[in-house]
């Protein structure tokens, strides 16, 4: 089959996004076009659900890429340095995750909370696997960039303390006071504290990068030849926002069907959704590694842990809390049960292990990577099977 001439000039992410838009139209007007009718009604719901998932994945990866490119072009136009441009780009790349969370909160608040938390486990596993591919010296070690070992260790210490405290408080509240859920006052206060810590983390990260060695300095965007016209910048931002909304709606539709129609386990479903939602970020890491931009790749894969920990999770708590405050609907809470308590408490060993490995001599070896991978796989196994049993 011959590829149309106009498609040949498109980037890979643009082609996938166009396919996603086509699938979205197919799902949106499925009754009109008779989608699935020929296969029989018993297959329709499953077929539509899978199509919604694929639609969301294709559109969201394009939205993420569009937002990152828009931030790079804006940084080049305003002549930001590499630190500021990289920070803005990383934050923009999380917008699709925010939209997905906001849609899923309306469908199933507990699922949104679990997806946000288990994304940390997924990203920690990706970080440990990526550690195998970092270049090693003659002693089989990779020296971590100082900004990550300094600012990163500080935020991991804060994260391990906060999440362990929340998990233990949930355990104590359930056993001693018989409180069954965290309502809007608890959620809003927790979210605001974590967002303040994230703000200080960004400030510290930029400060350490500025004072770091020249080889760890990211390139300023205006030196990389990015287009800087406002039409392109605004167009990419609008494309990213539109893609985030349509992709988030599609993924939330799949989540609704998986949890309510097919009754799939919440934690296992959340792990799958979190993994697929993060594919676009993993692709960015892969491309940066292929180009030899290890600093960008490593900061993205490590930032996938810290940003979810102190940005996506508090955003999720904030949205659930605001829905609870505004509507008064008792669904918009975080229940205190075996699953929610365990996924919070088990974050402590995850953060502690990662902290110990990157703090000791500021290096990573293949042995460290193997140990981290094994530990994270075991934690995910415990999460999936103990929560199902609970």
How open is the CA angle 53-55-60, to the nearest 5 degrees? 95
* Superfamily of the domain at 11-389: NCX, central ion-binding region (1.20.1420.30)
Which is it for the CA torsion 310, 221, 243, 1, positive or negative?
negative
Q: Return d(Cα 14, Cα 264) in angstroms, integer.
A: 32
- The reported pLDDT for the residue numbered 83 is 66
Q: Are 156 and 163 in contact (CB under 8 A)?
A: no
Using DSSP's 3-state secondary structure scheme, residue 232 falls into helix
Name the token pair of 47.
């077929």
* Helix or strand holding residue 64 (H, E): helix 41-77
- The reported pLDDT for the residue numbered 8 is 56
Using DSSP's 3-state secondary structure scheme, residue 336 falls into coil
Q: What are the b/e assignments for 89-101, b being 16+ CB within 10 Å? A: bbbbbbbbbbbbb
Name the token pair of 43.
């297959």
Residues near 93 by Cβ (< 8 Å), separated by ≥ 6? Answer: 64, 67, 68, 280, 281, 284
In the chain, what are the domain boundaries? Answer: 11-389
pLDDT tens sequence for the chain (390 residues): 444 544 556 888 889 899 999 999 888 876 555 555 444 454 567 778 888 889 998 999 899 889 989 988 998 898 887 767 777 777 787 888 888 899 999 988 999 999 999 999 999 999 999 988 888 877 778 877 776 777 778 888 888 999 999 999 999 988 888 889 999 999 999 999 999 988 887 777 666 665 555 555 667 777 878 889 999 999 999 999 999 999 989 988 888 888 888 888 888 888 888 887 777 778 778 877 887 777 677 777 887 888 889 899 999 999 999 999 999 999 999 999 988 999 999 999 989 888 888 776 567 888 888 988 999 999 888 888 876 554
Q: What are the b/e assignments for 345-380, b being 16+ CB within 10 Å? A: bbbbebbbbbbebbeeebbbbeebbeebbebbeebb
Identify the CA nearest to 108 among candidates 315, 251, 277: 251
Q: Are 348 and 124 in contact (CB under 8 A)?
A: no
Q: Return d(Cα 150, Cα 148) in angstroms, integer.
A: 5
Q: Are 151 and 157 in contact (CB under 8 A)?
A: no
CA distances from 347 to 44, 85, 307, 328 (A): 39, 30, 15, 30
365 forms beta bridges with 141
- DSSP category for residue 10: S
CA distances from 325 to 189, 281, 320 (A): 13, 33, 9
142 forms beta bridges with 364
Identify the CA nearest to 305 among candidates 263, 353, 261: 353
């Amino acid at each position: 089959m011959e590829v149309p001439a106009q498609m040949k000039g498109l980037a890979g992410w643009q082609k996938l996004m166009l396919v996603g838009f086509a699938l979205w139209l197919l799902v949106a007007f499925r009754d009109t076009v008779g989608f699935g009718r020929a296969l029989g009604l018993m297959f329709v719901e499953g077929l539509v659900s899978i199509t919604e998932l694929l639609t969301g994945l294709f559109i969201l990866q394009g939205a993420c890429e569009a937002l990152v490119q828009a931030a790079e072009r804006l940084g080049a136009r305003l002549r930001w340095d590499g630190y500021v441009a990289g920070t803005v780009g990383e934050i923009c790349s999380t917008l699709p995750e925010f939209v997905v969370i906001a849609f899923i909160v309306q469908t199933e608040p507990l699922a949104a909370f679990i997806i946000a938390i288990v994304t940390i486990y997924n990203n920690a596993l990706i970080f440990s696997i990526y550690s195998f591919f970092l270049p090693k010296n003659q002693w089989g070690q990779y020296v971590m960039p100082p900004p990550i070992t300094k600012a990163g260790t500080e935020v991991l210490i804060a994260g391990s303390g906060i999440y362990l405290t929340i998990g233990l408080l949930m355990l104590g509240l359930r056993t001693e006071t018989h409180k069954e859920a965290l309502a809007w006052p608890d959620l809003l206060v927790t979210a605001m504290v974590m967002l303040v810590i994230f703000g200080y983390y960004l400030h510290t990260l930029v400060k350490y990068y500025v004072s770091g060695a020249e080889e760890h300095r990211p390139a300023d965007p205006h030196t990389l030849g990015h287009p800087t016209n406002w039409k392109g910048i605004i167009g990419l931002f609008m494309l990213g926002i539109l893609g985030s909304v349509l992709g988030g709606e599609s993924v939330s539709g799949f989540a609704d069907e998986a949890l309510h129609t097919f009754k799939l386990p919440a934690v296992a479903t959340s792990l799958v959704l979190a993994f697929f939602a993060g594919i676009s970020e993993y692709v960015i890491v892969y491309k940066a590694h292929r180009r030899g931009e290890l600093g960008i790749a490593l900061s993205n894969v490590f930032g996938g842990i810290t940003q979810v920990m102190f940005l996506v999770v508090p955003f999720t708590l904030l949205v659930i809390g605001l829905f609870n405050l505004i509507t008064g609907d008792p669904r918009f809470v975080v229940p205190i049960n075996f699953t929610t308590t365990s996924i919070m408490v088990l974050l402590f060993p995850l953060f502690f292990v990662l902290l110990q490995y990157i703090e000791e001599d500021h290096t990573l070896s293949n042995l460290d990577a193997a140990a981290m991978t094994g530990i994270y796989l075991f934690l995910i196994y415990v999460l999936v099977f103990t929560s199902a049993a609970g």
